[in-house]
Structure 1
Amino acid sequence: MRKHLCRTLMLGAALALSAAAQAAPAWPARPITLVVPFPPGGTTDLLARLVAREAGTRLGQSVVVENRPGAGGGIGAAAVARAQPDGYTLLMGTLGTQATNQFIYAQMPYDSAQGFAPVTLVANSPNVLLVNPKLGIASVAQLIEQARRAPGSLNFASTSLGGSPHLSGELFNRLAKVDIRHVPYKGSAPAMTDLLGGQVQLMYDNLPSAMGQIKAGAVKALAVTTTQRVPMLPDVPTVAEAGLPGYEVNSWFGLLAPAGTPPEIVGKVRDAVAAALAEPGTRRQVEELGAIPVAGTPAQYAETIRADTAKWRQVIQDAGIRPQ
């Protein structure tokens, strides 16, 4: 009798577990939100919308882009860090949100090291040094000459405080021994508007969001920040070859989930993005934006974040940038 009762209880438990497993819908069972912590129109936004479309198709659910700008990407990043770790909220992170903001802002609303589960890098992108053509500066050498002749008379726009475009300008100042003042904006689009309007003379931007204005001739690209020229702008020199040896800035964009997201869900997202970026058509779209598609593992992305955190901590200290 006791054995029969035990078998009955075990069978009942097994049936209950089976019923629960059958009742739990497979992920993803509803649309996924991809938070972009910057305004529409910038590189982060453009890449996120491409990823959302292509990964959503492969996951079988809509991936909805939600722009939540502010605090150099901190507002959107914090929202994702606080979200349920169920795979339905993701972040398109940047060098700023995951590595440099912690050294720029005195109060961080999230822990960039512990608050997220890295999913995959999506793309690497050079930054580009832009000038308003009306300024009459056609080369890095001319820019340095004018900046030295009248210290503090020039200013440069960037997409946020502490992001890679901002740090591109600070590194330029340090190596060229000039004083070009920084003017931070909340995203690429408003910064570009003021560059075109003459409110600022220079701008450092991620290449993808600047390509349209460069091709239209509305702005002039003086140099790219990577160590090698980029295929999209073969006639534009690097900052290093244009007169500042040792200069290098590389920007990246990648997907992250809230810490605690199940590894199997992280893996599904990563695989969907990797499959999308393996398609020649998708790769071409990323490259046309001025970026280099990447689809590494979560561990590789985590290592990139760790390495760049150490690198830029030193650069920020050397530049004398104080937490705001």
Structure 2
Amino acid sequence: MLKNVAAVVLDDVHPFELGVVSEVFGLDRSDEGLPVYDFAVASAEGPVLGTNAGFTISTPHGLERLEEADLVAVPAVRPQTAERPYPPELLDALRRTVERGARVLSVCSGVFLLGEAGLLDGRRCAVHWRYARELAIRYPRARVEPDVLYVDEDPVFTSAGTAAGIDACLHIVRKEHGTEVANAVARRMVVPPHRDGGQAQYVKRPLPATPCDTVGEVLVWLERHLDEDVTVDQLAHRAHMSPRTFARRFLQETGTTPYRWLLRQRVLRAQELLESTDETVDSIAGRVGFGTAAALRHHFLRTLGTTPHAYRRTFQGPARVA
């Protein structure tokens, strides 16, 4: 169980990305019954460090703090150069973290540290789209996915820039504690409770200015009618668009297709019901629109890498499942 989290920083650290990790794992939300982590910021280059925003931060913790962490987070950092290489002792500490069964998380350019430590070899990874080509050139054994928000290659988690780090952190919270806890943390942070890791990082084409809502109302309707069979033609009619225009606008605004978005929402709803109710898998499959338990198992396994029964056992405990 995730209890101890350390963020490790270098000189010229990006404060927003450090703040993301601190916000998710460093705040005491016990007043709402939410998990509290033993959180600390550790420095690899001295007690006082500069940021790329022009101010300094200080911490009493050195690299020894990483040895007891269940999760080591690496916020965005300066690129390595021949004149300013990454500290070898930090790279060793990151490797030891994974070797002893703990996890590592990078936010934005922090992924270069994981690459230098050899932790991306043979793994899929995410990074801000501006750095994707450089990352692929530097670490050719890494499988760089330049368009996604984050990648879960447990025990190595990587995310794209800025707000994508929030999504990756909440994904880890969800994986450890379940959807209800992750949603509660997101609500406190006033951010969307879930953006799928495979969602596009950015809109490739700007949307024209319009006084009308586009697909927002359709998304709200879909969330309330997950159990219904719908087609793109029906959704387009609801949005007062042609099917072709609707499909294009949906991709522009959500970063995915209507089919993929609907599948993911159905899996998410199934997760919530598996955690919070004693309904059978057959009943849940019907409520979320998969129809049969076999279909739910197929999509659940494909999306989450586990079965509904195993997921319920993890978050409800064997006694309640039995």
TM-score by length of 2: 0.23
More strand per residue: 1 or 2? 1
Q: Which structure is larger by alpha-carbon Rg, 1 or 2?
A: 1
TM-score normalised to structure 1 length: 0.23
Higher relative contact order (Cα pairs below 8 Å, separated by 6+ residues): 1
